[in-house]
Each structure stands twice: as C-alpha cells, then as structure tokens.
Copies of this chain bind each other. A is one copy, B any other.
Amino acid sequence: MITFGGVFSVLPTPFDASGDFDPGSLQRVIDLFLAGGVNGFTALGVTGEVARLTEREREAVLDTVVTHTRGRVPVVAGTTTEGLRTCIEYTKRAKAAGASAVMISPPRMPKLNSEAVARHFAEVASAVDIPIIVQDYPPISGFAMEPALLARIAREVPSARTIKLEDPPTPLKTTRILAAAEGVEVRIFGGLGGVFLLEELLAGAAGAMTGFAFPEILVEIVTLFRAGRIDEAADAFYRSVALMRFEFQDGIGMAIRKEVLRRRGALAHAGIRPPGGVLDKTTLAALDRVMSWVEATRAHGSRT
C-alpha cells in the first residue's frame, strides 16, 4: 500500500475559451508539477471544480490524469457525494479508472452526526478495496469532525488512516488527532493552500495536499524539513507564504490559482466555471506584485 506523504498537488480542471474541459492544459499542469517534484496528484477535488462537472466530465478528467501520469506518482480521485451509494459507485469507477486512492468528505446532509459519518467511511471501505483519504473541510462538508471521531475512523477503518486536514487551527488539530489516535498510524496532510504548512509539519503532518500553483516550493519545504534542516525549511516557507496566502483567498482563490498557472504557461485559459469570483484589475496588479517579490526573495534568499 502507498505510504502517503510529501506533496500531493490538487489539480485544477482547466477549461477552454468556450468552457469545455481542456485536457491539453491539464497535461501541461501535470508536466509542470512533476517537474517540480511532487509526490502525487489529487484530481476531482473541491478546487478542481468537481461540483461543476458532469459525470462524463469527471471521467474525462480522471482518465486524462491517470493516463498522462503513467504511474510515475500515485493519483488520488475525489469521490465525495451526498449519499453512500453514489459514493461507492464513484469510488468503484475511480478504482477502475486507475486511481491509487480516493478522497472522501462526510456526506453533506442536515442533521448529520458522528455515528453516521463513521458508518459512511466504514461502508465505502467494505465495498471497495482502495485507500481512502478522509477530507476534513467543514466549510464545504458542513460537518466538523472532532479529533475523537477522526481517530475512531482510523481505528475502525484501516484503509482510512490518511487525513487531509483543513479545519483550522490545523497545527493544533494535527497534534490532537495524533494524540487521540495513539497506537494507530495516522498520516495527516495539510491543505489550505499551504498557508500553515510549516506549522503543520512541526506538529507532525506528513506533508501537504493542496493546489498551490508553485508546488516546487512546497516540495522544497517538505524535503528540507524531512532532512532535518528545519531552519532552512522555515526560511523557505516564510519567504513564500505571502504568495500562498494571496492565492488562497476566500471566494477567488481558484481564479487566482488558474491565472498563475496561465502565466506559468500551463493553462491556455484561466477561466473558472460560473458562478465564481472574477479577478479585477486591482487583484491582478496585486498578484503581479507578490509574485515578483517572492521570486526575487527566493532567488536572493538561497542560502549557502
């Protein structure tokens, strides 16, 4: 089984000028990120605009990712749905399409409770033999999983012992989950655009799973950290977090990220599917500014 850790890039879903899925751009993103040294990909995540795809498009996206990646790194597929049955079906399709793992949030539902969440993960796991990454992102799922629940899932569902943690404060919650799960090996990925990556690593996280458009920076940070070169990891992080923070703005984060990937030559078009934030001139100018600064500072800052 895969040992999850390092940097898994959550892939965007690129669209062409008419709004259709653009596989060529996605392939270029994959190439760019592989060149940056990422350890895996996550397709069909929230920031992959999965909620705005048809099922056929979902399949086309996942096929593109699996095919173009050619097994060089594992591919995780998001299969969150509002019901157990569809979640199992999407998970089966993902496995059949070649995904190495799936990522699943609690099913969105009024009156959801801990018991039902634990059962959901257990039943998906018993129906499909594939590693499950438990996504903890309350603003989207509508349900906050307490550390005790995440630890319970890890104990009861051996295939669901990796967590993508996006319920701040993530460093503190990382510590609490690891304590609550004592005796079971849980692996935690930070998310949230990388904005707390250093502190998550200090708290015991295994890496980052996020869509930040410069994953090579995350790779550098994680690699230094794992090599025990904590000060250098921290320096690299602090020099870059101004950009991560800017990219990860509520409501327009995905639009900014795609614009960066367009500037990096990967995306032909930066559009996101409506409704969604559209970048104004001021935001674009502010993006120019922070990108230049981070680039200059990182160049200058390379330590000897």
Interface residues of A (CB under 8 A from B): 19, 49, 51-55, 81-86, 89, 107-117, 119-120, 123, 139-140, 144, 146, 148, 168-169, 171-172, 175, 195-196, 198-199, 202-203, 234-235, 237-238, 241-242, 245-246, 249-252, 273-277, 280, 282-283, 285-286, 289-290, 293-294, 297
CA A191 – CA B86 in complex, angstroms?
A: 27
Given A139-B110, A171-B282, A275 and B119 contact (CB-CB distance below 8 Å):
yes
B54 touches A89 (CB 8 A): yes
Q: Which of B51, B113, B245, B250 contacts A245 (CB 8 A)?
A: B245
- Determine the residue in chain B with the shortest Cβ distance to A107: B275
- Flag if B234 contacts A293 (CB, 8 Å): yes
- Dominant SS among interface residues on chain A: helix
B residues in contact with A115, CB < 8 Å: 146
Could you say which residues of chain B place their CB within 8 Å of the CB of A234? 289-290, 293
Measured CB to CB, the closest approach of chain B to A229, in angstroms, equals: 14
B251 adjacent to A110 (CB under 8 Å): yes
A81 to nearest B CB, angstroms?
7
- Whether B146 lies near A113 (C-beta < 8 A) is yes
Contact of A84 among B198, B245, B246, B273 (CB under 8 A): B273
A54-B86 in contact (CB<8A) = yes
Taking CB atoms, residues of chain B closer than 8 Å to A290 are: 234, 238
Rounded to whole angstroms, the CA-CA distance of A168 and B112 in the bound complex is 12
Q: Nearest B residue to A120 by beta-carbon distance?
A: B275
* Partner pick for A241 among B117, B196, B235, B242, CB 8 A cutoff: B242
Judge whether B245 and A171 touch: CB under 8 Å: no
A112 touches B293 (CB 8 A): no
Q: Is the CB of B241 within 8 A of A283?
A: no
A299 to chain B, nearest CB (A): 14
| Known contacts A238-B242, A242-B238, A275-B119, A49 near B110 by CB under 8 Å | no
